[in-house]
Structure 1
């Protein structure tokens, strides 16, 4: 049994609490959050420094700007950690955390939980096995209208950009399946909520393989397209089952999450659909991630550690900076 502490009592933190409570190889030792009214039926601590019980691993689900600070506190106490994404708010903070991990020999895992979807791993294998040949292009679409209450009275009021909340997942998905992203160009749409936040935009990117890709995104536009809607992974978001990513190659193409695979080289003949049996999750991604975290604590290689997640963060921060710059230019020209 691994003794697990959860830090942060927000939406995702409480989901982690429930996942730990239901896991056969984990024991929840408590929740650390300054708001002591959250989950009063659990063992509670106002801060990590107050924890006075043995801990094997900690799940850090606090606001992004606190990830590195809390990660370093955990490392100093010898607690292996599962950090929510993004790994940190700046590259400098992420790199400082990595130094702490090396110094203390503490193991890390970062919560890019989409890597645990069976269908995502199947997509990665199809591409790696050459099912569509060499990848040429990838197009990804994420659009939903977040409710106004999502931004009210919390840290998202000023810092609710979807890039580091949502697109960082899509960026990591592309890195996981298609390889490293080496260049990005980003343009922002005009904000509709008049709040000064990034809300929509378009991104072009190049991969180390030479393939190119695009992401179109908005948190102001209701649609059936997005990872959460397509896969049904988030109970707070309606499931549509619609595809949200399309990848072409030199021998065919594939869409996700349907994993519709197309093959054909002759442009005068319609491509043929290649039947696929979609791999289904045997456990929820959060459950699978927690099971993997247990293995990581015992020495297994992590699916994505702080160093790997920092590369995803670097791409997201580059995109965020470009979107902020173009938004400023648009406001000045207006």
Structure 2
């Protein structure tokens, strides 16, 4: 007899899925580090234990960067990491990905950002569509980065931009014009907000940066007017539940705001954020929503469909994958 959980997991694995909130440096396959030097990188480090939670964001960010820079020192290394990363995702039936690379790595390692961009795109396997986003931090408008940031709207292969990093830093005056130019150039406009910052940061992302794609946004529930506005304006929240738990945004997954956001009519998608640090994959995310938050197969299916509805892909492809999800529900 098939157990209910077995049935749900099989369903989750079977349906086409998206990842729309994924950091390349934070998704570095950990086994590449083990292969690089197993004396320095144990096969099961403490921070990848299932129960581990980070004490604060700075501790998490430091650990991520310290590990990422051990691998990412060239465009070729980006290609190798992304090839393995995308192939793993494809095995879980991920069909569409929006992934960001840290533009400031250009300054850290001295590699042209366009070369990194090309290396990422050349790693995409057949049957998967990938949109590459350039991520910037709030205080990253340095002398080196200024001429790069100011020309991003002219990068034909760049699909979008995102604001990363520490939300408690003020938004500097350089950012809004960059977001406007990229929006006018037809690029995907994102911003991290409402994770460690409160509703004020979500308002800032919407009203100052003009973004309707919010990375996280889960603390919007602290402001009822904001929740209503996000629903009315069809703003999309790209949510990473296990990341939110492990970084202490909520005490536990059971306290997460996702269901309240969905019940309010806000379109949400599900992604993994930084699998290097959280040891998660997209199937883990969906399973956790079912087993710990009681999401039904129908609700999981709707989350998967949301990813395609708001994807930057052809309408025919969207319809195809949504139809496959509906078909899986009837089996």
TM-score by length of 2: 0.30
Which one has a bigger Cα radius of gyration? 1
Greater per-residue strand proportion = 1
TM-score normalized by the length of structure 1: 0.30
